């Protein structure tokens, strides 16, 4: 079921999530289904979604498999596109950082949603449980790395705006899209 996405002013988004212990719980299965449905309903504008964003303080998120998507291929089905990560944790981070412009479904709506440049490790290894409780590791890099770290931050009560130190670097979607359309690149960062 597609759920309403909480906005950053909601105090739930500032709290850490509880670890999943019961992988046979029907509540967990429903939560995962709701996350996938909600992320997929927002497919054109999202790269992931965490349980707190739909009001559940449980350590579950879904991340879009941008590493599997190809521009010239047909769209991936929901099950393949959205990687379900339960109790995810980073077990390794590269020393090299990269900067990507991040946005969030919980930080504004439509053309008024906010974006900002975020520096994060360019490569990470994430360890997590699948829905059946099996442990899995995944090496991710570049934009996918940012995406995974962004969703894990949500599970720890952190919103990406925390990393944007200069408010001049926060742009509304409509303004950022227009700049990119005009110059074919993102705006230079203000110091």
Q: Does residue 83 carry a catalytic annotation?
A: no
Query: CATH: 3.90.45.10, 3.20.20.150, 3.30.70.2740, 3.30.70.250. Which one for 11-98+123-164?
Result: 3.90.45.10
CA–CA gap between residue 191 and residue 182 (Å, rounded) = 23
The token pair at 186 is 């993102």
Q: 151-175: per-residue pLDDT in tens?
A: 999 999 999 999 999 999 999 999 9
The pLDDT value given to residue 70: 79
Beta strands in the chain, from DSSP E residues, in sequence order: 48-50, 60-64, 82-93, 97-103, 114-121, 123-129, 135-141, 171-172
The pLDDT value given to residue 81: 94
Whole-model pTM: value is: 0.94
Long-range own/partner contacts, residues 96-102 (CB < 8 A, 24 or more apart)? 96/121, 96/122, 96/123, 97/121, 97/122, 98/122, 98/142, 98/145, 98/146, 99/189, 100/143, 100/146, 101/176, 101/186, 102/146, 102/150, 102/160
Confidence of residue 35 (pLDDT cuts 50, 70, 90): very high
Mean pLDDT for all residues in the chain: 95
Q: Please identify which of the residues 83, 102, 147, 151 carries the catalytic annotation.
A: 151
Share of the chain above pLDDT 70, in %: 99
Q: Are 98 and 163 a contacting pair, CB within 8 Å?
A: no
The pLDDT value given to residue 124: 98
């Amino acid at each position: 079921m597609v759920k309403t996405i909480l906005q950053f002013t909601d105090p739930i988004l500032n709290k850490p999530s509880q670890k999943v212990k019961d992988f046979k719980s029907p509540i967990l299965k429903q939560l995962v289904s709701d996350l996938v449905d909600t992320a997929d309903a927002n497919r054109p504008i999202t790269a992931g979604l965490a349980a707190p964003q739909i009001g559940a303080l449980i350590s579950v998120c879904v991340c879009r498999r941008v590493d599997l998507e190809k521009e010239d291929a047909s769209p991936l089905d929901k099950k393949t596109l959205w990687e379900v990560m339960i109790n995810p944790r980073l077990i390794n981070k590269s020393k090299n950082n990269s900067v990507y412009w991040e946005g969030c479904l919980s930080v504004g709506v439509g053309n008024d949603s906010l974006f900002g440049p975020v520096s994060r490790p360019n490569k990470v290894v994430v360890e997590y449980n699948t829905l059946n409780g099996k442990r899995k590791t995944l090496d991710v890099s570049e934009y996918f790395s940012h995406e995974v770290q962004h969703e894990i931050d949500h599970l720890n009560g952190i919103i990406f705006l925390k990393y944007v130190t200069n408010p001049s670097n926060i742009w509304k979607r409509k303004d950022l899209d227009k700049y990119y359309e005009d110059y074919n690149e993102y705006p230079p960062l203000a110091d």
